[in-house]
Chains A and B, each alone.
Chain A
């Protein structure tokens, strides 16, 4: 199975340098970057789906990671190559010029060249939280889609049984490949992903990490670059950001004496009851 995984870099929320806003624009200087966690789950899912239980050395299929972003975003692609992806594609673009729609159209162009059997996306990126690219992409391609996958069972690599996380529990869908599937957090639980050729061991919870030798070897794996304009004729974003603002700092909490005071505050200050 050939799987394409789009992967976005996001600002590392654990880093001390937080995003700043200067004159209504996002200022990302000095920030540390990491792969969007949901995209990492998608990479892990792709690796598990192409794992060969009979011989751990040879993958049954190919995992291609792709990003739309500046040169520096290759760091995150190489990270994915080190964990086991086979090759990488970067579509050169500056973050400011993108929205979910341009990204989806750019990926569609790559899909037409590469003809993967499956596109695995993270359900959303933890920076913009738009939750759009997977859905738009499926629509543009005219492919079936299943969003928020918590489990995936491959049926002979021609269809997938996808357990979708929905409000009421799990909704199981059968999608015929090729398809677009977006993944949620639980997809990286030890037994969430299976196929006929899965290895017999259960996985550690979470995503795998690269052994140090693999980090070095990843430098030799193929990485190709496209210009955005080579792939989409109209690269204009449909969403225009007029301004950015940081959320106001949280006020300190207060302690109330008793329930009566609480009710009073809720009614007269917060005006919620």
Chain B
């Protein structure tokens, strides 16, 4: 992991590595053409196979549809060509997931969880023998793959894993229970994370990743009834006395934590890609409805407050899409480390989708409140993005602490710092030292089209604010920074807005270069709208570092925990 080859990490030091974000990346002509051909196939599949067979969108997607999706190749999109996958570039894969997110968020989740969560650990850490044994079946969709980390006692905090792998000679015996496994009820192979050190109070366990077949004795339940993405089956895995030989250990013993974290880093971008498609779909619905629905003798879209919602949705969807495809472009290229960028995309993506879904709900009003209406389902489906692949609360801490930590350190350290703030500080302390210089960039943004000069100044000013405040927070809180979640949130939100803004400026500049000022009118408008709203948020965040009611808020919550409930009765 080359920590410095990260756009966002550089911004934390006040350095703008412009060449990483400009010009706005895009696929080659041949790759674009191939991706469009896949999209065309996908749309035809949806029309001729999926739609006629789907039935209620609130019931699990049938095995027949999944089998057809498998023979089409949907389950091998990103998996290695050597094992029958398509090995699409990050950009093409994201584009397909975006479309899936628009067509059906449930199908998008089934497809991406299989590849980015279930199969990814094997792709990254499997031996040749392990890959040969499982990957071809996974790429064809014959075997769906599940990722089993979460447990009753281990959600955000993976160190709470209780599932225990006892060694017996060179073999392993596993006991435990995993919950919330996407595709669990229908998958046939699982990456299971178990502790290979005994439970000892206060001591972080060693985790190890295992590849386990359903036939090894895994029992799954029928899946839970969920609030949204009801086409997906998510369920429990029961491991009772499951005997495995050494060939099932993925990576090395004790490497499980790193594998789990690395997989989630990878999965987050897929979440944001799908979210951008779902948001686009809800926006399109809203645009159509605003034009068609009449009230007070006009189309409701004529009213200022409806226009305002549509404009916000447009600018946010535009920003999200730009951010996702800037990140995939970085990954296509030099293979920079995009774990912070991906986390930023996931947080921003899930929240943009949430806001767009709410906007769509407001526009659809009564109709959107009826069960089964596209907007009502859209609202429910949107929420899984907030939780899965790391909650947004945890990811904000992750973005802030990763951005502030010393160069060259492993990301797992950040998680350690969150768990053990005192010991963890050593990992973060060298931040100030590296502020000095970097060969990567400068403090100015020079490649944005002059039409956006105002936005450039805004961007540069707030990059400098981010760097100054990150350093100030480290100095002020020292050891305690890992506990300072209010400051972390401000730092993270600044970073997310700045990253979105950089992506928007880059994409809009490319549009102006290609199509001239008039031709790129729509992009320029949306860029300005997005910049103006980001400015308001960033200004509030910067001001908040020095003037805030953080302590009062903490105390209010602490008192409420003591009271055990809302403390008042009016009479």
Chain A: residues with CB nearer than 8 A to chain B?
A: 34, 75, 78-79, 82, 204-207, 209-213, 215-216, 219
On chain B, the residues within 8 Å of A82 by CB distance are 37, 41
How far, in whole Å, are A265 and B178 apart by their CA atoms in the complex? Answer: 73
CB distance from B486 to the nearest CB of A (A): 43
How far, in whole Å, are A79 and B44 apart by their CA atoms in the complex? Answer: 13
On chain A, the residues within 8 Å of B73 by CB distance are 211-213
Interface centre among A34, A75, A205, A215 (most CB of B within 10 A): A215
How far, in whole Å, are A212 and B77 apart by their CA atoms in the complex? Answer: 8
On chain B, the residues within 8 Å of A78 by CB distance are 33, 37
A-B contact count (CB 8 A): 44
By the criterion CB–CB under 8 Å, are B74 and A212 in contact?
Answer: yes
B45, CB-defined interface residue at 8 Å: yes
How far, in whole Å, are A205 and B44 apart by their CA atoms in the complex? Answer: 12
Q: Can you sample 15 A-B contacts with CB below 8 Å? A: A75-B36, A78-B33, A78-B37, A206-B48, A209-B44, A209-B45, A209-B48, A211-B71, A211-B72, A212-B38, A212-B73, A212-B86, A213-B86, A216-B34, A219-B30
How far, in whole Å, are A207 and B30 apart by their CA atoms in the complex? Answer: 24
CB distance from B69 to the nearest CB of A (A): 10
Interface residues of B in 61-81 (CB under 8 A from A): 71-74, 76-77
On chain A, the residues within 8 Å of B33 by CB distance are 75, 78
On chain B, the residues within 8 Å of A207 by CB distance are 44
B40, CB-defined interface residue at 8 Å: yes
- What is the number of residues of chain B that contact chain A, defined by CB distance less than 8 Å? 19
On chain A, the residues within 8 Å of B37 by CB distance are 75, 78-79, 82, 210, 215
How far, in whole Å, are A219 and B71 apart by their CA atoms in the complex? Answer: 20
CB distance from B142 to the nearest CB of A (A): 14
Interface residues of B in 496-544 (CB under 8 A from A): none
How far, in whole Å, are A149 and B478 apart by their CA atoms in the complex? Answer: 81
By the criterion CB–CB under 8 Å, are B41 and A210 in contact?
Answer: yes
- B48 CB contact (under 8 Å) in A79, A204, A213, A216: A204
By the criterion CB–CB under 8 Å, are A215 and B41 in contact?
Answer: yes
By the criterion CB–CB under 8 Å, are A212 and B72 in contact?
Answer: yes
CB distance from A222 to the nearest CB of B (A): 17
On chain B, the residues within 8 Å of A34 by CB distance are 40
On chain A, the residues within 8 Å of B38 by CB distance are 212, 215
- A215 CB contact (under 8 Å) in B34, B45, B71, B74: B34
**4 further interface pairs, Cβ-Cβ under 8 Å (given A34-B40, A212-B76, A219-B34):** A79-B37, A209-B41, A212-B41, A215-B38
On chain A, the residues within 8 Å of B30 by CB distance are 219
How far, in whole Å, are A17 and B73 apart by their CA atoms in the complex? Answer: 30
CB distance from B395 to the nearest CB of A (A): 32
On chain A, the residues within 8 Å of B76 by CB distance are 212
How far, in whole Å, are A34 and B36 apart by their CA atoms in the complex? Answer: 11
CB distance from A30 to the nearest CB of B (A): 8
CB distance from B22 to the nearest CB of A (A): 23
How far, in whole Å, are A211 and B76 apart by their CA atoms in the complex? Answer: 12
On chain B, the residues within 8 Å of A205 by CB distance are 48
CB distance from B253 to the nearest CB of A (A): 37
By the criterion CB–CB under 8 Å, are B40 and A79 in contact?
Answer: yes
Interface residues of B in 308-324 (CB under 8 A from A): none
On chain B, the residues within 8 Å of A79 by CB distance are 37, 40
On chain A, the residues within 8 Å of B36 by CB distance are 75
User: Given the interface contacts A78-B37, A204-B48, does A216 sit within 8 Å of B86 by beta carbon?
Assistant: yes
How far, in whole Å, are A213 and B45 apart by their CA atoms in the complex? Answer: 15
CB distance from B465 to the nearest CB of A (A): 39
Scan B5-38; emit 1 where CB is below 8 A from any A CB, else 0. Answer: 0000000000000000000000000100110111
Which residue of chain B lies nearest to A34 when distances are taken between CB atoms in the complex?
B40
How far, in whole Å, are A209 and B68 apart by their CA atoms in the complex? Answer: 12
CB distance from A77 to the nearest CB of B (A): 11
How far, in whole Å, are A212 and B79 apart by their CA atoms in the complex? Answer: 13
On chain A, the residues within 8 Å of B72 by CB distance are 211-212
How far, in whole Å, are A210 and B48 apart by their CA atoms in the complex? Answer: 13
How far, in whole Å, are A212 and B38 apart by their CA atoms in the complex? Answer: 6
